[in-house]
Amino acid sequence: MESSSNCNLRASSSESRGALIVLEGLDRSGKTSQSSRLLSYLAGLGHSTELWRFPDRSTSVGQMISAYLSNKSHLDDRTIHLLFSANRWEKRSLMETQLKNGTTLVVDRYSYSGVAFSSAKGLDIEWCKAPEVGLLAPDIVLYLDIPPEKAAERGGYGGERYEQLEFQKKVAKCYQALCDSSWKVIDACQPIEDIEKQLQDAVLDHVMACERGRPLSYLWPR
Ligand code: Z5A
Ligand code: MG
């Protein structure tokens, strides 16, 4: 019995898969720009790769989130938190399918945005993490680190709800509380091309390890 379950473990841990790569950071830290560049880089090396982003505004849950972010609707803080989480859960099984098919996913914002933005409003961090438990854990989190004042200087802070300097300062502190060994922190004040190169260097080992059969893991890793 024991030896057969060990065999199963070995079998499942040697299945090749794609890597789950997440980009996180404050508004205007460069996540979307760098996600596209990373996608092109990995695709150019011949890896099957897709670009994902959260919130995914194309779903009905995503449309409720979009209306909230653009101040067209008002929702209680816990309600919107759970909608952001639901928006990830509705994509979870597709995410697993794609990874198991060998596709690497470059994901622009994930559960860390969910927890950082909601806990910045004063919600308990453990309460914020709870609905994320069981989602797939990233193989690496690329955190684009920028002082909130510098991010604000990049312009483009427009109508969306969280695009305010004082709030972004609180979010930055909340992100710090989430940083663990799966994170690679990159100075996001550098030139775009320098950051791009550092991200490329950071992901390759993970992509290869996943191709060699690193098992999937789940939030939140200990
Ligand atoms: N949110 C949440 O509350 N809970 C959740 O669970 C999730 C999200 C998933 C959605 O934002 C909002 O939802 C977000 C968090 C919250 N609210 N806030 N704040 P979004 O992801 O849709 O936001 P966005 O419109 O994509 O903006 P962004 O993410 O803030 O920007 P970015 O992607 O990090 O930056 P960028 O678009 O790549 O670059 C911004 C500008 O800076 C642009 O002009 C670039 O050319 C420039 N840039 C980029 N890099 C550099 C460097 N290195 N130097 C100089 N200039 C640069
Ligand atoms: Mg973006």
When pLDDT is averaged across residues 176-203 and rounded to a whole number, the result is 97
pLDDT at 158: 64
1 in any annotated domain: no
Q: How many CA atoms lie within 13 A of 45 on its CB side?
A: 14
49 in any annotated domain: yes
What tokens does 77 get? 């803080």
pLDDT at 163: 86
| Residues in the 5 Å CB sphere of ion ligand 2 | 31-32
* Ligand 2 geometric centre to CA of 79 (Å): 23
Q: How many CA atoms lie within 13 A of 120 on its CB side?
A: 22
* Ligand 2 geometric centre to CA of 12 (Å): 35
Strand pairing report for 49-53 and 183-187: unpaired
Q: How far is CA 203 from the centre of its chain?
A: 14
2 in any annotated domain: no
- Atom 15 of ligand 1, nearest CA residue: 113
* Ligand 1 geometric centre to CA of 66 (Å): 14
Which ligand has the shortest distance to the CA of 195?
A: 1
Average pLDDT value over all residues in the chain: 93
Residues near 143 by beta carbon (within 8 Å), at least 6 away in sequence: 24, 25, 175, 179, 183, 184, 185, 186
Which ligand has the shortest distance to the CA of 89?
A: 1
| Position 45 pLDDT exceeds 70 | yes
Assign residue 213 the CATH number of its domain: 3.40.50.300
Which ligand has the shortest distance to the CA of 87?
A: 1
pLDDT tens per residue, range 156-169: 776 688 989 999 99
* Ligand 1 geometric centre to CA of 151 (Å): 9
Number of domains in the chain: 1
129 lines ligand 1 (CB under 6 A): no
Amino acid identity of residue 36, one-letter, is: S
44 in any annotated domain: yes
Amino acid identity of residue 115, one-letter, is: V
Question: Which phi and psi (to 5°) does residue 47 adopt?
Answer: -85, 140
Strand pairing report for 20-25 and 49-53: unpaired
Q: Which atom of ligand 1 is nearest to the CA of 54?
A: 9
Q: What percent of the chain has pLDDT over 70?
A: 93
What tokens does 96 get? 């697993």
Write the burial class of residue 11 (CB in 10 Å: 0-12 exposed, 13-18 middle, 19+ buried). exposed
For the beta sheet containing 183-187, the strands, ordered from the edge strand earlier in sequence to the opposite edge, are: 49-53, 104-108, 20-25, 140-145, 183-187
pLDDT tens per residue, range 6-27: 333 444 457 999 999 999 999 9
* Ligand 2 geometric centre to CA of 101 (Å): 27
Amino acid identity of residue 128, one-letter, is: C
Give the structural domain span for 109.
8-218
Amino acid identity of residue 146, one-letter, is: I
211 in any annotated domain: yes
143 lines ligand 1 (CB under 6 A): no
3 in any annotated domain: no
Q: Which of 97, 153, 111 is nearest to 23 (CA)?
A: 111
pLDDT at 13: 54
* Contact assessment for residue 144 and residue 31, using Cβ atoms and an 8 Å cutoff: yes
State the pTM of this model: 0.94
Higher per-residue confidence, 3 vs 125: 125
